[in-house]
Amino acid sequence: MRVIIKENYDEMSKRAAQIVAEQIRLKPDCVLGLATGSTPLGLYKELIRLHREEGLDFSKVITFNLDEYIGLPPEHPQSYHYFMYQNFFNHLNIDPRFIYIPHGMTQDVERFCNWYEKEIERFGGIDLQILGIGANGHIGFNEPGSSLGSRTRIKTLTKKTIEDNARFFEKMEDVPKYAITMGIGTIMDAKKQLLLASGKNKAKAISQAIEGPISQVVPASILQLHRWVTVVLDKDAASMLKMEYFEE
C-alpha cells in the first residue's frame, strides 16, 4: 500500500488526478470505477481541466459507478446519476454508451445486480477503482459488518450514513434507506485501487483502515490485502496515522 500525504485538499485532488490520467494514457480504453460524494469532486474537476487544456481523451474510457440510492430516478438532484453527469460526464468527450451507473428505480434489484457484475466482466474487469471512505470506514455503501467477499447487491444504510446524508435532503424522511452498491469482493477484483480522504472527520477511519486489523467492522481495511493500492490524503485525514509515509 502506497500512502501519499499532501498539504491540503487541492493538492490531494491534483495528485489523484495525475494517477487517473496516467492510467488513461497507458490504456485509452481502460475501465474506471467511480465514486461519488464530496471527496472526489476536486479530482473530477482536475480531470476536466486536463481534458480541456491538455487533451486528456475519454472517448474510449468505460466507467462503472460504485453505487446509487434505491428509489431515486436518474433526474433526481440527489441521485448519483445526476451527480456524475453534472460534475463530470457532461464536461468530457466520454461515450454515453460506456457509462454504467446502478439503476435506483429497477423493479428487480437482484437481477439488475447480477447483470451489473456481468457487464464489468464483459469489459475485462475494472482497471482502476476510485474510492472514498465513510467516517465509519465504509467503501461504496458496504457498511460495517458487510461481508468482505460480497458482490453487487442491495444494502440497508446505517443510521450514521443516513444522518450524514440528511444535509442533502429537505427532510430526514426523504433520505433513502437503501442503496445498490458494488460489493467488497467486486471492489477487490479491480486491478488497482485509489483511495482518497480529506478532513479530520476521516482521520480515525483512515488510521483504522491503513494501520488497524482487517475487519468487517472497518470494511476499507480489506484494502490491506490488495496488491496495488494508492491512498492519497490531505494532512488532516492523515493526522492519526502513526507510521511515517513518503511519496518517494
> Active-site residue numbers?
67, 136, 138, 143
CA atoms within 13 A on the CB side of 247: 11
User: Rounded to 5 degrees, what are φ and ψ at 212?
Assistant: -90, 180
Distance (Å, rounded) from C-alpha 207 to C-alpha 169? 30
The 10 Å Cβ neighbour count of residue 155 is 21
User: Rounded to 5 degrees, what are φ and ψ at 99?
Assistant: -105, 120
Strand order in the sheet with 178-181: 67-69, 178-181, 153-156
The number of angstroms, rounded, from the C-alpha of 164 to the middle of its chain's C-alpha atoms is 17
Pairing state between β 62-65 and 99-100? parallel
CA atoms within 13 A on the CB side of 66: 25
Contacts with 29 (C-beta within 8 Å, 6 or more apart), sequence order: 60, 61, 62
Taking alpha carbons only, the member of 71, 83, 77 closest to residue 156 is 71
Distance (Å, rounded) from C-alpha 129 to C-alpha 241? 23
